[in-house]
Amino acid sequence: MIPTIADRLAALPPLSHAGALDRGTPCKVCMTLAPFFDVVDFHKCVSYYPFGPSGITVSYYRCDACGFLFTPFFDEWTHDDFSRFIYNDDYKKVDPDYTYRRPQQVADQMARLLDGYQDARILDYGAGLGVFAERMASLGFRHVESYDPFSKPARPQGRFDIVTCIEVIEHIPAPIAAFEDMQSLLTAQSCVILGETLQPTDICTVRGNWWYVAPRNGHISTFADRTLFAVAERVGLIFHRGVGLHLLRTSESGQLTELDRNFGPALVCYRLHAPVDGFADGFHGLEGTGGARFRWTAADTVCWRISIPPGPRRTVQVAIPYKHESRHGFASACTVDIAGHLAGASTREFSIFAEVADIAPGPVTVTLRTPETLSHGHDTRRLGLAIGVSES
């Protein structure tokens, strides 16, 4: 063995689950400590490794709270660094369609979506070479402008009815700043149309092998639907989850009401925890330490009270994180009721996810129904699901 490698291996501490958080980094969206997720080689692109490895590793982190998956590898890079090492003459080898074909296809799709809004003032944010705006103009849209910090850095003037941002935010190391910038360009009745590939539901299984984790393509930030909800909430917008295209809009729809309907109901997300302090109905006492604290459920039914924000009816998504289950398959056998409606539920990421559409604003009860709680061996308590405690 190479002596330097042997020395590094010998210096490693014993394995500990705490190591994941000890080496975590704050989430750039919600500031929760995000644990290490996976590592890939710098040369990984969306088609994996057609050019072989570089020998330079890039670490990714994923926030348990909002699902944001990101790398801090590029955080200190300048525009010149990106131009030299990512968006150089080789970039067309890893993304041959980015210059002309893709923006033309996106413009054709957007023209169909925005039919009837030909007079709207539109800004393409992260516009590349400006092909999208040129194509939209040829299709009858009379007020389309381009902005890109690399290729078209002149700051746009005034405010816009619609900002398009297509396959751009995955390239941005500071997503909140970018969304705040877009929000500053909106009128009181306007929106951002976002084209973005969302993480698959099995991301915690495929991990860095997901094709979209691709540093050589400049893919720095990737999003779950609940990440985009958290982003929208931080910048004062309402998030509508679509398929491929998503909408972030101001609270006043105005002339864009019909456009809203193309993206389905607004989404609101909640992460439900066991209570931290004192007696809690349906729970045993607090156990664990640090970020691993939890309470076992003591009853077969546990309830939370949430409040749906004012405005439109929403699709409500809840996540109930758990640390342990009293027996194998217990979590997947649970059901969730939201506002009297049985929710479609799934178990992933050590959480129960459930979702119900078309819920009106106001207070709502979420009910978790579990299989029968049972005692185990010397522990005479009836135990169900060990639900995590919020650390915020």
Token readout for 59 is 């670490």
- Do 286 and 208 share a structural domain? no
Q: Which of 347, 352, 382 is nearest to 367 (CA)?
A: 352
Report the distance separating Cα 296 and Cα 287, nearest Å: 8
Q: At what angle do helices 101-113 and 131-138 cross, to 10 degrees?
A: 40
Single pTM value for the model: 0.93
239 and 205 assigned to the same domain: yes
CA dist 372 and 383 (Å) reads 9
Same domain flag for 190 and 255: yes
pLDDT in tens, 340-353: 999 989 999 999 99
pLDDT in tens, 156-201: 999 999 999 999 999 999 999 999 999 999 999 999 999 999 999 9
Indicate whether 120 and 160 sit together in one domain: yes
The reply to whether 247 falls in a domain is yes
Q: Assign 391 a pLDDT band (cuts: 50, 70, 90).
A: low
Which domain range does residue 384 map to? Answer: 269-388
Domain stops at, among 215, 231, 264? 264
Query: Distance between CA 385 and CA 324 in Å, rounded?
Result: 6
Would you say residue 230 lies in a domain? yes
Residue 115, domain CATH: 3.40.50.150
Whether 139 and 155 map to the same domain: the answer is yes
Q: What is the pLDDT of residues 300-335, one digit of tens each?
A: 999 999 999 998 899 999 999 999 999 999 999 999
Q: What number of other Cβ atoms are within 10 A of residue 364's Cβ? A: 21
In a domain, 57, yes or no: no
**Residue finishing a domain among 234, 264, 294:** 264
Indicate the residue among 209, 244, 264 that finishes a domain: 264
pLDDT digits 0-9 by tens, 99-158: 999 999 999 999 999 999 999 999 999 999 999 999 999 999 999 999 998 888 889 999
pLDDT value of residue 252: 73
Residues pairing with 93 in the sheet: none
Note whether residue 43 is domain-resident: no
Instruction: Verify that 249 and 275 share a domain, yes or no.
Output: no
> What's the token pair of residue 206?
């495929």
Long-range contact set of residues 101-107: C-beta below 8 Å, sequence gap at least 24: 102/167, 103/128, 103/129, 103/131, 103/132, 103/135, 103/166, 104/131, 104/132, 104/135, 106/132, 106/166, 106/195, 107/131, 107/132, 107/135, 107/136, 107/139
Please answer whether residues 117 and 193 qualify as being in contact, where contact means their C-beta atoms are separated by less than 8 angstroms. Answer: no
DSSP 223-272: B-HHHHHHHHHHHT-EEE--SSEEEEE-S--GGGHHHHGGG-SEEEEEE-
* Residue 23 pLDDT: 76
To the nearest 10 degrees (0 to 180), the angle between helices 175-184 and 225-235 is 50
